[in-house]
Every structure is written in structure tokens, then in C-alpha cells.
């Protein structure tokens, strides 16, 4: 029987070393949930990095066995590889370039060599498991070269690729010394998926301008194969949020938070620490709200959760300092004995508490400078079973294509942000309900399971089509 193999940089389980030994924590991320039904069934498997350094062969064996029992296979990465492939090429070259932060991008040949070598390492790990006709689904920007490497070794395999971040305009991609190699790497797949048609169009333009290949109806003709390209906007596990929203434990947290905050209105901001998320711009806009609309002082607090991330990369460490400073300055300027303008948390929250925060919030402020999709916006919507609450959303998040009932703003336009905040805080309840209900219909229907199904069906179909073409 043929297998399906999922490949991503990180496994959906994080392994930690504790005083008592190794600790295995399942990840709660959307991708892990969406693909759970695939990799845990039949003989399928998920290949990726377990999140810690394991040099000792005996320990590697223990980790491998534990993961195998849960349908996963580890790729062990060394400290040098993490520095050059993960922090280096993936997060200091590709991440800033693909998010239009070219001023942050570094061009380092050693990092590129490490990126090629680690993609080859992943390729070897997949080939050790994959038969000639298996289905392999590769995830995200850390593994752009993998589809082509796999194709060379397994010409008959069914290979899918999904990019979870934006695909930038050709003008940005051409700045990279390795732009054409990356595009060629992706073309090893039978089907390439993006969150939006915009990203897909940028990719097609790069393919034709960098490689001179012909494109018809979203199909790329390479000398040997046809590659399909399409948009698959990713969703969330809607029901999980909806059910949690009605649970007693969430209700209890929410009640406790409400009591602590008294009757202050809440504007919520939740992100991984990242310069693409527009966190500093958001703080400045909130400061302007307090300055220009003094009637909101002591009436509204910004509840800001920043989840630690990639803190070994210089720009992330600098951003953390900038945020700390801004929060300190604004709070010092405006706070009173009984009111804190900004409630700032630098940590992650357990799922139940997160849902309680979403439910508590009057406004969610989701204002990335660039974002492939942004699932926080969708999680907020799913948690709002009472349909009260307003989403302010950046027009530069992939989610804005679907969520046209949000208040859409340009995240660098402070005036617009300030006025959107004011409008959201004043929005009549019936308008909140109408907008929320429309967005809920959409997010409920296109959940992460629908996303997985659509991609996998399309992938199977693309292969059948190729098969018919070659046998005719
Ligand atoms: C984004 C990327 C993912 C990545 C996640 C967390 O969502 O698209 O590929 O896993 O951020 O980042 P990290 O570097 O901690 O894996």
C-alpha cells in the first residue's frame, strides 16, 4: 500500500531535555491539527526536526523510537546547521525577503551551502521511508529545494508543496543571488499551493521571467512534466475553538480576567515575536489613540501577548528591546493608579486561556506589515460564539482576501489605525453581529480539514492527469 509522507522543518512534537529525561510535547499548531488525520493513519509518517540537539547515538535511537511509535521520523540537525540553515538562510535571508524586508536580508554563501546540505539531509531521510510511488507533501520555505531533490530520486512519486508565507514579487526575488535555484527546487512538485492568488501570480511571473517556461491556465510546462499551481487559503480547527468557547474552564478564566480588569474595554493583540507583525506600529497607534481621543483613557486597555520566537536572530532580539521600551514609555506616560494602558505578556498562553482572551476582547488588532495568512484573526472569529467583537485586520495579511467584513487597514497608516480603533470601540452591536456572522460562516466552512482535503484531492488528481497524458 502506498504511503503519504509529510515533511516540514519542525515536527508536530517538540522534544525537551529535562532533569527527569526527555520530554515529548505535542504541538498545538494549526498545521499539526490539520494534518493529524493524515500522518497518524495507515502507514503514514511525518518527517522533521524534533527541536533539540541530539548528538549521542543512543539518545538518537531513543528519540527515534519514541517518535516512530507516534508516526514521526526525526531529522537530527547539528548546532552549525541550525545556525546556518535555520537562523541563517531560512530566517535571515528567505524570511525577510519573502516578507518584503529586504533591508534585513543577508546574502551569505555559507548559509546557502548549509541550506542545500540540510535540504539534502531531509531528502535522504524521506527516501529512507518512501517507496517509488508514494505521496510526499513538503511544507514551507525552509525546504524549497526538497521537491526537486526528491523528484530526481523518485521520478514517479506524487509530490506536493505548500508555501505558508507570502511569495514575493519577482522584483524582490531577483535580489536573491539564488532566486532561480529556489524556483527550480519548488518545480519538482506536481502541485504547488499558496494561501492566495496574489502569491500564486508572483510565483508564475518568477517562473516565466527567471526560467523562461511557458504557463497556461495555472499550469507550468517544464521539459519533462506539467506542474499545477493553485491557491488554498489555510483555515483553523473551527470546532475546537467553538467547543472550547462554551466550556466551563474557559468561562471561568474569562470571569477571572473580567473581574481583574473591572469594566475596562479590551483591545487584544497576539503574535509571535516578529518584525513582520507590525507590533511596534500597533503600539504607536494605541499611543496616538490615547493622545487624540482622551475619552478612551482609563476606559480601554491594550492586552498584548508576544510569544517568544527566533531570539537568536539579531533582528528579533532588537525588536524585543524596542517593544519593551515602547510599552514602558506609554505605560509610564498614561497609567493611573488603577489603570494600565498596556497589559504586556512576553510568553505563550495555554489553549484554554487563549480562547478566554479572544472571548474577552472587544477588539482584535491584527495588523501585520506582511503575513502569509494569519490564523489569529480566524481563531478570534471562531471563539466569538456570542458574535460581539470587532476585527481590525491588515490588508497585507493573506486572511484579508477572505475576511472582507473586518475593518481593513493599511498597517503603516497610523491615522487609519487610530480611526479604525475608535470606530471599532464605538461600533453598534447589531453591526458587530452582522460582520462577525458573515466571517464565521466562511471560517467555519473552510476549516483546516477542508484545506487538507482540497490540497490532497487536487494532488491526487494532478497525478492522475499526468498519468493519462503519458499513457495516451
Ligand atoms: C511560521 C512559518 C512556519 C514556522 C512558524 C514558527 O508560521 O511559516 O514554518 O514553523 O512560523 O517559526 P519557527 O521558526 O519557530 O518554526
> Would you write out the chain's pLDDT as a tens digit for each of its 472 residues?
789 999 999 999 999 999 999 999 988 778 888 898 889 888 999 999 999 999 999 999 999 999 999 999 999 999 999 999 999 999 999 999 999 999 999 999 999 999 999 999 999 999 999 999 899 999 999 999 999 999 999 999 999 999 999 999 999 999 999 999 999 999 999 999 999 999 999 999 999 999 999 999 889 999 999 999 999 999 999 999 999 999 999 999 999 999 999 999 999 999 999 999 999 999 999 999 999 999 999 999 999 999 999 989 999 999 999 999 999 999 999 999 999 999 999 999 999 999 999 999 999 999 999 999 999 999 999 999 999 999 999 999 999 999 999 999 999 999 999 999 999 999 999 999 999 999 999 999 999 999 999 999 999 998 787 766 665 5
Strand (E) or helix (H) holding 186: helix 179-186
Reading the block at residue 431, the C-alpha cell is 453591526
What is the CA(347)–ligand 1 centre distance, in A? 16
Closest ligand 1 atom to the C-alpha of 86? 14
Alpha carbon distance 272, 275 (integer Å): 9
Which of 220, 216, 236 lies closest to 228 in space, CA to CA?
Answer: 220
What is the CA(160)–ligand 1 centre distance, in A? 19
What is the CA(59)–ligand 1 centre distance, in A? 26
Alpha carbon distance 466, 472 (integer Å): 10
What is the CA(7)–ligand 1 centre distance, in A? 14
Closest ligand 1 atom to the C-alpha of 8? 9
pLDDT at 29: 78
SS percent in the chain: helix, strand, coil, step 5: 50, 20, 30
| 60 CB burial (10 A radius; 0-12, 13-18, 19+) | middle
Which residues are 304's β-sheet partners? 269, 344
Reading the block at residue 412, the C-alpha cell is 503603516
What is the CA(56)–ligand 1 centre distance, in A? 27
Alpha carbon distance 375, 381 (integer Å): 10
Supply the pTM of this predicted model.
0.97
CB 400 within 8 A of CB 197: no
Pairing of strands 191-194, 226-231: parallel
Q: Whose CA is nearest to atom 2 of ligand 1?
A: 164
Closest ligand 1 atom to the C-alpha of 165? 8
State residue 420 phi and psi, 5-degree precision. Answer: -65, -40
Alpha carbon distance 97, 106 (integer Å): 9
CB 469 within 8 A of CB 247: no
Q: What's the Cα-to-Cα distance from 333 to each of 12, 92, 298, 338, 395, rounded to whole Å?
A: 43, 35, 13, 14, 31
Alpha carbon distance 123, 130 (integer Å): 10
CB 103 within 8 A of CB 137: no
pLDDT at 472: 55
Closest ligand 1 atom to the C-alpha of 91? 14
Give the mutation target among 7, 9, 10, 13 for probing the ligand 1 site: most ligand atoms within 8 A of CB. 10
Closest ligand 1 atom to the C-alpha of 372? 8
What is the CA(10)–ligand 1 centre distance, in A? 8
State residue 365 phi and psi, 5-degree precision. Answer: -110, 100
Q: Whose CA is nearest to atom 9 of ligand 1?
A: 140
What is the CA(337)–ligand 1 centre distance, in A? 39
Alpha carbon distance 82, 94 (integer Å): 15
Q: What's the Cα-to-Cα distance from 389 to each of 271, 350, 386, 435, 436, rounded to whole Å?
A: 19, 22, 9, 9, 8
Closest ligand 1 atom to the C-alpha of 309? 15
Alpha carbon distance 124, 288 (integer Å): 54
Query: Which residue shows C-alpha cell 531531509?
Result: 122
Q: Whose CA is nearest to atom 6 of ligand 1?
A: 309
- Contacts of residue 84, defined as CB under 8 A and 6 or more positions apart, other chains included, come to 110, 111, 113, 114, 115
CB 101 within 8 A of CB 314: no
Reading the block at residue 69, the C-alpha cell is 511509535
Query: Which residue shows C-alpha cell 499526468?
Result: 466
Alpha carbon distance 437, 451 (integer Å): 21
Which of 128, 139, 140 lies closest to 166 in space, CA to CA?
Answer: 140
Alpha carbon distance 347, 30 (integer Å): 19
What DSSP state is assigned to residue 28?
-
What DSSP state is assigned to residue 413?
-
Q: Whose CA is nearest to atom 7 of ligand 1?
A: 164
Protein residues whose CB sits closer than 6 Å to any atom of ligand 1: 10, 140, 164-165, 309-310
CB 67 within 8 A of CB 54: no
Closest ligand 1 atom to the C-alpha of 142? 9
Query: Which residue shows C-alpha cell 508564475?
Result: 204
What is the CA(47)–ligand 1 centre distance, in A? 16
Which of 422, 436, 407, 417 lies closest to 300 in space, CA to CA?
Answer: 422
What is the CA(310)–ligand 1 centre distance, in A? 9
- Contacts of residue 326, defined as CB under 8 A and 6 or more positions apart, other chains included, come to 280, 283, 284, 287
Give the mutation target among 140, 277, 311 for probing the ligand 1 site: most ligand atoms within 8 A of CB. 140
CB 183 within 8 A of CB 148: no
Reading the block at residue 434, the C-alpha cell is 452582522
What is the CA(154)–ligand 1 centre distance, in A? 28
What is the CA(8)–ligand 1 centre distance, in A? 10
Which of 237, 266, 249 lies closest to 357 in space, CA to CA?
Answer: 266
Amino acid at each position: 500500500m502506498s504511503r503519504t509522507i509529510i515533511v516540514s522543518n519542525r515536527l508536530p512534537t517538540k522534544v525537551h531535555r529535562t532533569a527527569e529525561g526527555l520530554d515529548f510535547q505535542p504541538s498545538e499548531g494549526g498545521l499539526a491539527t490539520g494534518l493529524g488525520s493524515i500522518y497518524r493513519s495507515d502507514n503514514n509518517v511525518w518527517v522533521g526536526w524534533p527541536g533539540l540537539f541530539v548528538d549521542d547515538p543512543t539518545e538518537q535511537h531513543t528519540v527515534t523510537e519514541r517518535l516512530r511509535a507516534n508516526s514521526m521520523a526525526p531529522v537530527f540537525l547539528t548546532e552549525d546547521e541550525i545556525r546556518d540553515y535555520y537562523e541563517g538562510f531560512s530566517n535571515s535571508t528567505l524570511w525577510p525577503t519573502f516578507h518584503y524586508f529586504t533591508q534585513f536580508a543577508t546574502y551569505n554563501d555559507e548559509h546557502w551551502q548549509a541550506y542545500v546540505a540540510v535540504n539534502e539531509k531531509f531528502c535522504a531521510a524521506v527516501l529512507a521511508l518512501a517507496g517509488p510511488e508514494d505521496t510526499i507533501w513538503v511544507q514551507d520555505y525552509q525546504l524549497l529545494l526538497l521537491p526537486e531533490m526528491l523528484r530526481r530520486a523518485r521520478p514517479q512519486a506524487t509530490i506536493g508543496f505548500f508555501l505558508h508565507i507570502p511569495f514575493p514579487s519577482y522584483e524582490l526575488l531577483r535580489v536573491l543571488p539564488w532566486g532561480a535555484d529556489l524556483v527550480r527546487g519548488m518545480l519538482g512538485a506536481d502541485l504547488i499551493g499558496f494561501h492566495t492568488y496574489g502569491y500564486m501570480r508572483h510565483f508564475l511571473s518568477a517562473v516565466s521571467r527567471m526560467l523562461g517556461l511557458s504557463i497556461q491556465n495555472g499550469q507550468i510546462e517544464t521539459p519533462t512534466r506539467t506542474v499545477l499551481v493553485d491557491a488554498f487559503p489555510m483555515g483553523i480547527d473551527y470546532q475546537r475553538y467553538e467547543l472550547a468557547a462554551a466550556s466551563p474552564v474557559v468561562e471561568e478564566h474569562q470571569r477571572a480576567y473580567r473581574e481583574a480588569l473591572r469594566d475596562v474595554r479590551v483591545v487584544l493583540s497576539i503574535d509571535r515575536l516578529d518584525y513582520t507583525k507590525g507590533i511596534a506600529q500597533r503600539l504607536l497607534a494605541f499611543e496616538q489613540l490615547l493622545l487624540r481621543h482622551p475619552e478612551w483613557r482609563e476606559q480601554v486597555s491594550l492586552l498584548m501577548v508576544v510569544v517568544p520566537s527566533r531570539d537568536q536572530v539579531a533582528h528579533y532580539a532588537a525588536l524585543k528591546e524596542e517593544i519593551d521600551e515602547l510599552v514602558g514609555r506609554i505605560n509610564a506616560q498614561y497609567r493611573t493608579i488603577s489603570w494600565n494602558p498596556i497589559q504586556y505578556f512576553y510568553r505563550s498562553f495555554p489553549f484554554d486561556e487563549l480562547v478566554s482572551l479572544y472571548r474577552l476582547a472587544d477588539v482584535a488588532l491584527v495588523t501585520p506589515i506582511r503575513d502569509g495568512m494569519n490564523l489569529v484573526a480566524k481563531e478570534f472569529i471562531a471563539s466569538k460564539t456570542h458574535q460581539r467583537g470587532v476585527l481590525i485586520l491588515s490588508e497585507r495579511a493573506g486572511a484579508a482576501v477572505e475576511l472582507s467584513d473586518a475593518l481593513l487597514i493599511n498597517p503603516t497608516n497610523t491615522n487609519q489605525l487610530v480611526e479604525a480603533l475608535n470606530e471599532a470601540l464605538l461600533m453598534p452591536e447589531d453591526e458587530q453581529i452582522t460582520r462577525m456572522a458573515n466571517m464565521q460562516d466562511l471560517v467555519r466552512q473552510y476549516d483546516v480539514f477542508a484545506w487538507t482535503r482540497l490540497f490532497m484531492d487536487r494532488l491526487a488528481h494532478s497525478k492522475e492527469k499526468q498519468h493519462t497524458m503519458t499513457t495516451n
